[in-house]
Amino acid sequence: MSDLHKGGTLKPPSPGLEHVDVINEDLNEITQQDRLSRARFSSASDVKTDVENWLNGQGVISTKPD
């Protein structure tokens, strides 16, 4: 398992490899979309909870007021 998956941090990319971050973001988005498309939910509440958790992880919404 990589350091990133263990909650670690990665070193800054070497010069010329900045595009790797963009590729990693794209792969993460594809992985999340695939996970949601394969998910089976038992209720609408489960769907709402899973989507809220995913959005919170994307920095799109927050449950805490500003």
Mean pLDDT by 10 residues, the chain (66 residues): 56 64 71 71 86 77 58
How many C-beta atoms surround the C-beta of residue 32 within 10 A?
13
Report the C-alpha gap between 56 and 63 in whole angstroms: 8
pLDDT of residue 18: 63
pLDDT at position 28 is 73
pTM for the whole thing? 0.35
Please say whether the beta carbons of 4 and 10 come within 8 A.
Answer: yes
Distance CA 23, CA 44 (A): 33
Given this model, what pLDDT does residue 61 score? Answer: 61
For position 9, what pLDDT does the model report? 63
